With several copies, the nearest count.
Chain A
Amino acid sequence: MSITVEINGEARRLEGPLSVAALLHLLDLPREKVALERNREIVPRSFYDTVMIEGGDRLEIVHFIGGG
């Protein structure tokens, strides 16, 4: 069953259901190097396997970059 979510401001179709961990794997993002916000709520890294992405979710995935 496919769902639509918004990631970093862009809409995306995904094959659900899938966990945050699965999403990061899908996106090829190393879980230990990013932080993720789901519908304005931070998802602690320890919950990546259990928290499931749902249709309509608005996700922010960030990391550290160079800055002053």
Chain B
Amino acid sequence: MGVEVSAVEQDENVSHDSWEIAGRKFSSRLIIGTGKYKDYQQNADAAVAAGAEIVTVAVRRVNLSDPNSPMLIDYIDPKKYVFLPNTAGCFTGEDAVRTLRLAREAGGWDLVKLEVLGDEKTLYPNMPETLRAAELLIKDGFQVMVYCSDDPIMAKRLEEIGCCAIMPLAAPIGSGLGVQNPINIRLIIEQANVPVLVDAGVGTASDAAIAMELGCDGVLMNTAIAEAKNPILMAEAMRHAVIAGRQAYLAGRMPKRLYADPSSPLAGLI
């Protein structure tokens, strides 16, 4: 982008800064989870405040004893939001495939988030099993966005077998610690030919901005919003933070200096 453009044209440019996943175009780069909220109404309000276009959802058994308990889709309309079914809680490829086949039948979507966990303490992915599950799902016609470690070598493998988005963790799920290893995230972004989204570990607005400044295509978060004292306001904060980080990345930051450099000219002093 040339630096001559006026602010107005600029806004144009930015409003045109969209990204694509599995053939769909999105202008929001913030994907939010739908867990841990006080209730579905708060969840829906947060989705509005976040300006989200995609929400992750889990697949679970219906409650037979109370079939009329509130349902997610009565609050968050699948026609307005892209539902991204995840496999949270799955520890094997088979569980993941089975879960997502049910999701596909329930919702009719083939865009899914794969998540095969390695253990319950870290909720880190089991990467070899994730790789295997991704292959099964892709063979079965799914579009797989994959939760993974920040290991660039494994990220490359996942792209090679056909995953449509790479989603390395910033820090342990629900930890709120922010990007722990910016070098690995940067390496993953540099080598990727598909969208890279930071998934899990963001704790506050600056964490999301930092992830985007590294060049991520988007950020996925849940706890940072749902567990804020004021989830709705934090959702809005995250919307701004993701835009801020994205624009800063596109704008190209100033170089860092070890010493000072005056902002006011020294000439013409009285």
Contact = CB atoms under 8 A, between A and B. Distances in A.
Q: Do chains A and B touch in the complex (CB under 8 A)?
A: yes
Contact of B107 (A10, A44, A61, A64): A64
Contacts of B6: none
Interface stretch (A14-22, A31-39, A49-57): A31-39
B73 A35 contact: no
Interface residues of B, number: 42
A60 B61 CA distance: 7
Contact of A28 (B33, B68, B86, B262): B68
Contacts of B103: 35, 64
Interface residues of A, number: 25
Contacts of B60: 62-63, 65, 67
B228 interface: no
A66 B64 contact: no
Contacts of B43: 66
A28 B262 CA distance: 30
Interface string B235-270: 000000000000000000000000000111100101
A10 B98 CA distance: 19
B40 interface: yes
Interface string A6-29: 011110000000000000000111
Given A27-B67, A33-B71, A62-B102, A68 B36 contact: yes
A29 B34 contact: no
Residue among A7, A36, A45, A64 facing the most chain B CB atoms (10 A cut-off) = A64
Interface in B101-121: 101-103, 105-107
B143 interface: no
B222 interface: yes
A59 to B, nearest CB: 10
Given A34-B106, A67-B88, A68-B264, A62 B67 contact: no
A6 B67 CA distance: 17
Contact of A64 (B68, B73, B88): B73
A64 B83 contact: yes
B162 interface: no
A67 B68 contact: no
A27 to B, nearest CB: 6
Contact of B268 (A7, A40, A65): A65
Most buried by B among A7, A9, A62: A62
Interface in B39-93: 40, 43, 56-62, 64, 67-68, 71-73, 83, 85-86, 88
Interface of B: 33-37, 40, 43, 56-62, 64, 67-68, 71-73, 83, 85-86, 88, 98, 101-103, 105-107, 173-174, 200, 222-223, 262-265, 268, 270
28 contacts: A8-B61, A27-B64, A27-B67, A29-B62, A29-B67, A35-B105, A36-B105, A37-B102, A62-B59, A64-B106, A65-B34, A65-B58, A65-B265, A66-B35, A66-B57, A66-B72, A66-B264, A67-B35, A67-B56, A67-B263, A67-B264, A68-B33, A68-B34, A68-B35, A68-B36, A68-B56, A68-B86, A68-B262
